[in-house]
Structure 1
């Protein structure tokens, strides 16, 4: 079974809500509850990803491709810990131990994800199989490919938002 690309799911969900006469206020995506059905990916309605307008193909040499740049935009743990606690409840995880989750940027800062957006942060469970570490490896390889000019920023962002588990292979990088 093939996956529907995440941006399309989000657009379709918005269209369905509009057709039903409902509106969604920015920042309230988590209010209705989030599904664990998509794991190891986040729920595409709750966490569709969010792109930093300051990071573009034209600015990568002064942003993501500069060593240490992500540290200048990374939100403080006081912000992400409070959000993680809230989102663990919204995702309905039975395990509420904060240390069992990483408050993960779905579109990583290394690829121009918005640092503080609730649409880009979610409580990614730590799996015994190393899944969260595997995502970090994918993110780093994609950043290197973007900075080397092997892949465009937009293609890397789209690949990670569609399905980070297949992002490298979909771009011919695995």
Structure 2
């Protein structure tokens, strides 16, 4: 009887561990699905890997598809008010596109618009530099559009820190955890 109880306890523990692993896997799958759905709402459906030569790699593309400046400033003012940020402090923030137009982001989808401080390691100035670098990599065929979008939607400041000036390789940067997959 004692051996039976031990075997039973061992099996219960094993089943519990398997259940926990399955539960974490299901939650991770749901979150990945939510991220993909959110990303789709941020993207311009006209920009695909096949269309980049006629869209984002065209020099006048961003100007051609972006809404007028005053429309975007009205949206920025609404976001500032929603977040309780005084209008006088608004100059400290940029109206950010989570997926920039230069990487196939929607120019005016509310899901793609947010506020981002101008300065700092996670600021708009640094993000803009990273976007231009990613766009160059995409347009030169050294990086896929989807990889560039994943780098910018994830923890882009970690990706920026791990991205070489002369390299277009983002494979060693884990944008979800802000770490490098392999140590140097």
- In the superposition, the TM-score normalised over structure 1's length comes to 0.67
**What value does the CA root-mean-square deviation take over the aligned residues?**
3.1
Alignment partner, residue 34 of structure 2: 11
Confirm whether residue 123 of structure 1 aligns to residue 115 of structure 2. yes
Any idea what SS the aligned residue of 2:114 has?
strand
Larger displacement relative to structure 2 (115-124 or 58-67): 115-124
Residues 173/102 of structure 1: CA separation in 2 closer, same or farther (3 Å cut): farther
Deviations 1:99-145 (Å, cap 9, x if unpaired)? 22211111111000000111111121222668221111100000001
Structure whose alpha-carbon radius of gyration is higher: 2
Confirm whether residue 150 of structure 1 aligns to residue 150 of structure 2. no
Q: Which runs of 5+ in 1 are unaligned?
A: 15-44
Residues 100/69 of structure 1: CA separation in 2 closer, same or farther (3 Å cut): same
Q: Which runs of 5+ in 2 are unaligned?
A: 1-27, 164-169, 174-184
Q: More relative contact order in 1 or in 2 (CA 8 Å, sep 6+)?
A: 1
Higher helix share: 2
Any idea what SS the aligned residue of 2:99 has?
coil
Which one of 134, 137, 141 corresponds to residue 129 of structure 2? 137
Which one of 38, 48, 51 corresponds to residue 43 of structure 2? 51
- In the superposition, the TM-score normalised over structure 2's length comes to 0.64
Alignment partner, residue 155 of structure 2: 163
Superposed, 1:68-107 pairs within 5 Å as 68-93=60-85, 96-107=88-99
Residues 142/128 of structure 1: CA separation in 2 closer, same or farther (3 Å cut): closer
